Structure 1
Amino acid sequence: MTLLAINWPGVGLMAAQLLLSLSILVVLHEFGHYITAKWFKCRVEKFYLFFDPWFSLFKKKIGDTEYGIGWLPLGGYVKISGMVDESMDKEQMKLPPQPHEFRSKPAWQRLIIMLGGVTVNVLLAFVIYAMIMFVWGETKTVNSSVKSGIWITDSLMYDIGLRNGDKIIAVNNEDVKYFEEIPKKILFNGGTAIKVNRNQKDTVVNIPIKIIGDLVERKRSKTPLMNERLPAIVGRYDDKDTAAGKKAGLQYMDKIVKVDSIPIVFMDDIVAYTDGKKKQPVNLTVLRNGSAINLTAIVNDNGKLGLPLLNDEQYDSLGFYKLEVTKYGFFQSFPKGVSLAINSLTDYVDQFKLIFKPSTGAYKGVGGFKSMGSIFSNQRWDWHSFWSITAFFSIVLAFMNLLPIPALDGGHVLFTLGEMITGRKPNEKFLEYAQIVGMVLLLGLMLYANGNDWFGWGRNK
């Protein structure tokens, strides 16, 4: 029965986006190693998207290099002659070093080769963010202009003490300039406080230190923590929409003023009432072109009428909040791209640090491919969203690869820097053992992350 409830087309769409995003990032990351190795006259034996234990889906040898696609979509690799890597080619390492081998090159050249992948990922993020700014620009909601306060869409926000209609002024004593900043500020400031204006009076709501863990334990969906509080005006239905409101006869720009005998002003008023009326009929009083009409709707199994919203520009024109839209020229977009990439890295590092603080419960949020795929849209292919997520993943990939763990670029960089400082090259046998330890550690982390996705390992500890 659970399998029947899964939205398989939506899952397929998310999986396709994740696969394309990771393929782009892996190929370009490995190209960073490939091009720098070629630059320093190293022989590159293999260049693969995905791993190819036992067999590959495609392969073709051009010159000294075999290019291919593996069947195991857990990353990719380049095999550089004379380098201790995931291929664990011990036979080659037993032979005397050759001029075309990685181990024969000066330490500074080997350092550049190892940093090549990370460098490409960082540059890629800069470029993607810049092109997003060039094509779509940047739209933000001015927090002080949010006329009717917040609409709580995740019950955890209600549990910590926020209420519909609260106007959030500051988080952790920092004024909030844009509405979009609020969720991030709350998540990264557990244990501090939110200053809100409620019923024309300022009050303080404390943020529990374990808020991140609580969010994960609730298995929060893509529903945001909160929205701007919105008027009860019906947006435009899709032609194929079968929502309860459409079946009842609701039309674009209808204003709902009553549900049964309950006066309605905001969308959250409707949600609060119909949540207790699942599968039951409700009477709607609607203003349409200045005239009141009555309709009857059957609330769905989730306690909703399925009412579409207006778009941001319409709420702006109605005065519910003000949008700040910034357009960027081609050359202007690049400094902004750099700024966005730096901000993404800073946010991720802040989030990463929380994992090592047990009191936050953030370790419960460590996820694998399921978590990564769930970030993408399951409704339609949204290129703006796709490129934004891909740029963020590129920053994450760069950061994770720089961690000083053997088998990652950061481990090789650490050993090479040690050699440059001490003048002593690590023993190749030591490097082999370090590679094995690193691979076991990474495999364990991968199993934990994906197990956490599917089985919730660690969430109740």
Structure 2
Amino acid sequence: MDLFIKLSQFLLSLSLLIILHELGHFIPAKLFKTRVEKFYLFFDVKFSLLKKTIGGTEYGIGWLPLGGYVKISGMIDESMDKEQMALPPQPWEFRSKPAYQRLIIMLGGVTVNFILAFIIYIGMAFTYGDTYISTADFNDGMLIDNPVMIKAGFKTGDKILALDGVPLTKLDVDTNIKIIMAKNILIERNGVEQQITMPINTINQLSKYDKTNLVSIRMPFAISEVTAESANKNLKTKDIITSLNGQKTKYFDQAKVILENNKGKTIPATILRDQKEIAITLQVSAKGKLDVHSGGISIESLEKLGYYKITTQKFGFLEAIPFGLNKGKDQLVGYGKQLKMIFSPSTGAYKQVGGFKAIFDVFPETWSWEVFWRITALLSIMLGVMNLLPIPALDGGHVMFLLYEIISGKKPSDKFLENAQMVGFVLLITLLLFANGNDIYKSIVGK
């Protein structure tokens, strides 16, 4: 069932993005009276699963879920229909239309992608608001146990003040990716500010470890389960350990150090149970463990215990518009930076480029509309940016040649465009194989 839910979200998001992207080409083509021969979700190599012709256009669903397409008459595209191009131009064909109309048709797909992302962010702001923890509430700093961050010079208890000169005012779902993209991070440690320079290959280093969070909130030592082999049967689920061996343990990371220093010993402890503090003794194993599972405490419970103040900022519809637009702008700029890192060999980020499995893995195994729309909005931005790359066979390649035609007044020959399309197609296949090959390699080696 978990796999089914994950797959359903993946296919729904992918289908939505493909259909709307292709509609971005289809609608202006129709407005400019250009004939559209096919409109397909997924590719219909050799055969299609469903198809129906309406108004001269064949609408269908292919069997190969690697994208979708619209086939516009008189356009040099992946179909490489040389026979049609050898005939005299017809008034309903793409090649017969003015350059500005052809430019609008080609930009339609990415335009829809960007508009969709901004609409989703506006809708999410209106529906869910903005939930975060203010960094001003992190009096004891953040939890930093990621090996990459520790190697870079960070320690648990550090307060992150700014990323590349931009103040970090809140901890939310986007914080970790912002840290990954940062070059210089200003922190406060024991009341003293200092700057840490992130390694240029941060993304590549992160791939070596299962832990992906660079920073997170410090949690109390809350008991979620007492194992069968545990000697500490006096502990119960939902107990919170507040002191060990006479030392306060507000956070789990503090308790972990004390337990490591008292291996094999019986030590006094204080626990919080049903809002009352109780003194007990605990047996520490030879491995420095209590043989219990920790966690299972909700963010609402943390707020009641006075650890953090959870802020959910609500927006009216008009208020949601500027917030959503700003959110979309930040995500667009952020993805542009990621793309720049991928094309910079020194960062090693290209090694982490993923294909369809990487996208599939992003979706959770439980259904959450909030998570679904957040992922879909980001994928829409990614699709828009990738399609704008000036590679023949992508929208950006067509736009590049159209801009050349508009500026110079000279139209590239059909033969040149056909050759460019072939080069672009080969390049795209190579990138596709590389990205999905990365997925396969990571599955085999486990990283």
Instruction: Within 5 Å, give how 1:261-340 maps onto structure 2.
Output: 264-269=249-254, 286-289=271-274, 290=276, 291-292=278-279, 305-340=292-327
What secondary structure is seen at the aligned counterpart in 2 of 1:425?
Answer: coil
Match of 2:416 in 1: 430
Deviation at 1:50, TM superposition (A): 0.5
1:276 touches 1:303 (CA, 8 Å); kept in 2?
A: no
Paired residue type of 1:430? F
Instruction: Choose from 225, 231, 240 the match for 2:214.
Output: 225
Match of 2:20 in 1: 28
Match of 1:82 in 2: 74
Over 3 Å counting, the alpha-carbon distance change for 1:248 and 1:426 in structure 2 is farther
CA distance in 2, matches of 1:244, 1:365: 40
What secondary structure is seen at the aligned counterpart in 2 of 1:37?
Answer: helix
Deviation at 1:325, TM superposition (A): 2.4
Instruction: Within 5 Å, give how 1:27-66 maps onto structure 2.
Output: 27-66=19-58
Instruction: Give a deviation string over 1:206-226, Cα, whole Å, max 9, x none.
Output: 42222222112x1545x4222
Match of 2:176 in 1: 183
Instruction: Choose from 134, 139, 146 the match for 2:131.
Output: 139
1:50 touches 1:73 (CA, 8 Å); kept in 2?
A: yes
Over 3 Å counting, the alpha-carbon distance change for 1:72 and 1:44 in structure 2 is same
What secondary structure is seen at the aligned counterpart in 1 of 2:221?
Answer: coil
Match of 2:11 in 1: 19
Match of 2:425 in 1: 439
CA distance in 1, matches of 2:338, 2:90: 44
Match of 1:168 in 2: 160
Over 3 Å counting, the alpha-carbon distance change for 1:17 and 1:276 in structure 2 is farther
Deviation at 1:92, TM superposition (A): 1.2
What secondary structure is seen at the aligned counterpart in 1 of 2:199?
Answer: coil
Deviation at 1:114, TM superposition (A): 0.6
CA distance in 1, matches of 2:424, 2:105: 19
Match of 2:189 in 1: 197
2:43 touches 2:67 (CA, 8 Å); kept in 1?
A: yes
Paired residue type of 2:10? L
Paired residue type of 1:231? P
Residue 114 in 1 paired to residue 106 in 2?
yes
Instruction: Within 5 Å, give how 1:348-387 maps onto structure 2.
Output: 348-378=335-365, 380-387=366-373
Over 3 Å counting, the alpha-carbon distance change for 1:233 and 1:435 in structure 2 is same
Which runs of 5 or more residues in structure 2 are unaligned?
Answer: none
Match of 1:408 in 2: 394
Match of 2:240 in 1: 255
Deviation at 1:314, TM superposition (A): 3.4
Deviation at 1:303, TM superposition (A): 10
Instruction: Give a deviation string over 1:64-83, Cα, whole Å, max 9, x none.
Output: 01111111111000011111
Match of 2:439 in 1: 453
What secondary structure is seen at the aligned counterpart in 1 of 2:216?
Answer: strand
Paired residue type of 1:287? L
Instruction: Give a deviation string over 1:200-257, Cα, whole Å, max 9, x none.
Output: 44444442222222112x1545x4222111222357x9xxx99999x97865642124
Which moved further from structure 2: 169-178 or 104-113?
Answer: 169-178
Over 3 Å counting, the alpha-carbon distance change for 1:106 and 1:389 in structure 2 is same
Match of 1:128 in 2: 120
CA distance in 1, matches of 2:23, 2:228: 48
CA distance in 1, matches of 2:291, 2:163: 32
Instruction: Give a deviation string over 1:115-155, Cα, whole Å, max 9, x none.
Output: 11111111111111111011100012211211221112422
Residue 208 in 1 paired to residue 199 in 2?
yes
Instruction: Give a deviation string over 1:403-444, Cα, whole Å, max 9, x none.
Output: 111001111111111111122221111111111111110110
What secondary structure is seen at the aligned counterpart in 1 of 2:71?
Answer: strand
What secondary structure is seen at the aligned counterpart in 1 of 2:303?
Answer: helix
CA distance in 1, matches of 2:127, 2:229: 37
2:89 touches 2:96 (CA, 8 Å); kept in 1?
A: yes
Deviation at 1:20, TM superposition (A): 1.4
Instruction: Give a deviation string over 1:243-296, Cα, whole Å, max 9, x none.
Output: 999x9786564212467998643123456688999xxxx998643132346788
Instruction: Give a deviation string over 1:12-39, Cα, whole Å, max 9, x none.
Output: 4433322211110000000111111111
CA distance in 2, matches of 1:373, 1:138: 26
What is the TM-score of this pair, normalised by structure 2?
0.87
Over 3 Å counting, the alpha-carbon distance change for 1:193 and 1:127 in structure 2 is closer
CA distance in 1, matches of 2:261, 2:43: 51
Paired residue type of 2:72? I
Percent identity, please.
47
Over 3 Å counting, the alpha-carbon distance change for 1:276 and 1:374 in structure 2 is farther
1:284 touches 1:295 (CA, 8 Å); kept in 2?
A: yes
What secondary structure is seen at the aligned counterpart in 1 of 2:143?
Answer: strand
CA distance in 2, matches of 1:35, 1:128: 21
Over 3 Å counting, the alpha-carbon distance change for 1:73 and 1:251 in structure 2 is farther
Aligned length: 436
1:50 touches 1:71 (CA, 8 Å); kept in 2?
A: yes
Match of 1:6 in 2: none
Over 3 Å counting, the alpha-carbon distance change for 1:172 and 1:129 in structure 2 is closer
Which runs of 5 or more residues in structure 1 are unaligned?
Answer: 1-8
Instruction: Give a deviation string over 1:352-409, Cα, whole Å, max 9, x none.
Output: 111222222222221111222222213x111111101100111111111111110011
1:275 touches 1:303 (CA, 8 Å); kept in 2?
A: no
What secondary structure is seen at the aligned counterpart in 2 of 1:97?
Answer: coil
CA distance in 1, matches of 2:392, 2:379: 21
Deviation at 1:10, TM superposition (A): 4.5
Paired residue type of 2:349? A
Paired residue type of 1:444? T
CA distance in 1, matches of 2:372, 2:175: 23
Which moved further from structure 2: 344-353 or 14-23?
Answer: 14-23
Paired residue type of 1:395? I
Over 3 Å counting, the alpha-carbon distance change for 1:317 and 1:450 in structure 2 is same
Paired residue type of 1:254? D
Over 3 Å counting, the alpha-carbon distance change for 1:315 and 1:263 in structure 2 is closer
2:9 touches 2:363 (CA, 8 Å); kept in 1?
A: yes
